[in-house]
Amino acid sequence: MKRQRGHKALLSLTSEQARKLDDQGHAARTLWNLLHDWWVMAPKCRRSLAAADRAIRQARKEIAWLGVLPAQAAQQVLKQYHRAWVNCWEGRASAPNFKSRIRTRMAVDVPQGRDLQVKRLSRHWGQLCIPKIGLVRFRWTKALPVGKRADKLNRITGARLVKEAHGWHIVFRVQTEVPGSEPHTGALVGIDRGVVVPLALSDGTNREHGPWLTPGETDRLRRLEKAAARKRRHCTPGERNSSRLTRTYDQIARLRATATRRARDWQHQTTTDLADTFAVVGVEDLAITNMIKSARGTAEAPGKHVRQKATLNRAIAGEAWGRTVELLAYKLADRGGHLVKVPAPGTSLRCSACGFTTPGSRETQAGFVCKAASCGYEDNADTNAARNIKHAAGQAVSGLLSPRR
Ligand SMILES: [Zn+2]
């Protein structure tokens, strides 16, 4: 079974190398813009991949600083530009446009994996060669198929360099050959994404985490945001931001990226643990974009509980539930398990012991008490919902596996 995965690592660059890579990123973006300019100006009959390729080669000859971008990365810009048009023609995306200097994420492609000459230096460090920049070290956090472990089926096929708040990263495209997995022998579990706890399991346990930023970091973030708002008042629209404001924005972006990185780390650890333990995981099939819609309403018909809803929205978005589900799905599939999405309505109101939804059953946010006369089941509200999800998932699975189908 062939498997394609991405793996991201932070590059340890000298300031000279970082500057050179910034130049490559800017050149790649400029090349895209030149290409777009040429494409929309050219008569329709002359628009072709070959003609665009000729235009790119000409531009690289005429504009000296475009030469900092390796030829293969330039070819990749052309491929992606053409791909963007194909996506547009086939109705998957809107038409490609110019890339602005401030809002575009800088990226440079290294389409051939063998050009990188990746090797492992020590337990925690690896080394690779970036075209036109030279040898660069990176944190080794995953077993990559390099050196003796690389062959036709197991190898790094290519990579992309991307600039984020913490600096330049490399995203490897890794291809591996894995044996088809044995069926998972673990149990069935239902998971509810709670508001009080991040993940509540039907076995009564929870998966929790602290805040992503320390109190000191949260204070600093608030101070920086206030400072940015103050500096913004002195800006003239249409003109470049002051360097102080830009620096403040960078500091804010770095703190937010730190929070995201810690959240991702927790998600990866938690989902790996869940996929190792359980064979079938049931989750609610939620449409998150609908859930986090603002409650503000219109001027004529203002919404109710706008502030509370906004707080809830931030909690939901901060939890990145969609990503947790995505990670769980592929990690379970790797181990021979299954993810089952079950319809959401009523899971928090129904009693998981008697199966009835009795009016007034859910008393508080944390506690569930069944009001049915003969039942009286009491449990944590999130656990009760998780148990309902488990029942629904169990029915869905037995429906799939029953001999009649
Ligand atoms: Zn009941």
Q: What is the pLDDT of residue 404?
A: 47
Regarding whether 116 and 143 lie in a shared domain, the answer is yes
Residue 298's CB is within 10 A of a number of other CB atoms, namely 7
Asked whether the predicted pLDDT for residue 303 surpasses 50, the reply is yes
pLDDT band at 294; cut points 50, 70, 90 = low
* 381 Cα: distance to centroid of ligand 1 (angstroms): 13
pLDDT digits (tens, 9 = 90+) for 12-31: 999 999 999 999 999 999 99
Same domain, 335 and 205: yes
Q: Is residue 5 part of a domain?
A: no
Q: How far is the CA of 389 from the centre of ligand 1 (A)?
A: 15
Question: Is residue 341 a contact partner of residue 285, using CB atoms and an 8 Å limit?
Answer: yes
Q: Are residues 324 and 351 in the same domain?
A: yes
Distance from the CA of 357 to the center of ligand 1, in angstroms? 8
Whether 146 and 16 have beta carbons less than 8 Å apart is answered as: no
Which stretch of 208-217, 242-251, 313-322 has the lowest confidence by average pLDDT?
Answer: 313-322
Q: Report percent pLDDT > 70 for the chain.
A: 88
Residue 296 lies in a domain: yes
Q: What is the pLDDT of residue 98?
A: 94
Determine the pLDDT at residue 224.
Answer: 95
Query: Are residues 159 and 60 part of one domain?
Result: no
For 190, the 3-state DSSP assignment is strand
**Are residue 350 and residue 322 in the same domain, yes or no?**
yes
CA of 358 to the centre of ligand 1 (A): 8
Position 300 pLDDT exceeds 90? no
Q: Residue 390: is its pLDDT beyond 80?
A: yes
Dihedral sign computed on CA atoms, order 134, 135, 139, 140: positive
Distance (Å) from CA 9 to ligand 1 centroid:
50
CA 128 to chain centre: 25
Q: Give residue 350 CA to ligand 1 midpoint distance, Å.
A: 8
Q: From the centroid of its chain, how far is CA 13?
A: 24
Do 125 and 96 belong to one domain? no
Whether 238 is covered by a domain: the verdict is no
**The pLDDT of residue 220 is above 50:** yes
What local confidence, expressed as pLDDT, does residue 401 receive? 56
pLDDT at residue 105 is higher than 50: yes
The answer to whether residues 392 and 344 belong to one domain is yes
Distance (Å) from CA 315 to ligand 1 centroid: 30
Give the residue numbers spanning the domain of 385. 187-211+255-396
Average pLDDT of 394-399? Answer: 81
Q: What is the rounded average pLDDT of the residues 356-361? A: 76
Give mean pLDDT, residues 1-7: 88
Q: How many domains, in total, are found in the chain? A: 3
DSSP track, 251-279? HHHHHHHHHHHHHHHHHHHHHHHHHHHEE
Task: Give the residue-averaged pLDDT of 305-320.
Answer: 62
As a whole-number percent, the residues of the chain with pLDDT over 90 amount to 48
In whole angstroms, give the CA distance from residue 139 to residue 116. 15
pLDDT averaged over every residue in the chain: 86
The pLDDT of residue 372:
79
- Give the number of other Cβ atoms within 10 Å of residue 398's Cβ: 10
Q: What is the pLDDT of residue 301?
A: 65
Is the same domain home to 266 and 124? no
346 and 197: one domain? Answer: yes
Cα 228 to middle of ligand 1, angstroms: 53
Query: Which of 73, 91, 106 is the last residue in one of the domains?
Result: 106
Q: Indicate if 374 and 263 belong to the same structural domain.
A: yes
Find the range with the poorest average confidence among 271-275, 326-330, 351-355: 351-355
DSSP states of 344-377: -TTTTTS-TTT----TT---SSSEEE---TTT--
> H helices then E strands: how many in the chain?
9, 14
Q: Is residue 240 part of a domain?
A: no
Provide the CA 178 distance to its chain's centre, in angstroms: 24
pLDDT beyond 80 at 313: no
Residues 372 and 272 in one domain: yes
52-97 pLDDT, tens digit each: 888 888 888 888 888 899 999 999 999 999 999 999 999 999 999 9
DSSP one-letter string for 110-143: E--GGGG--EE-SSSEEEEEETTTEEEEEE--S-
Q: Is there a single domain that holds both residue 301 and residue 163?
A: no
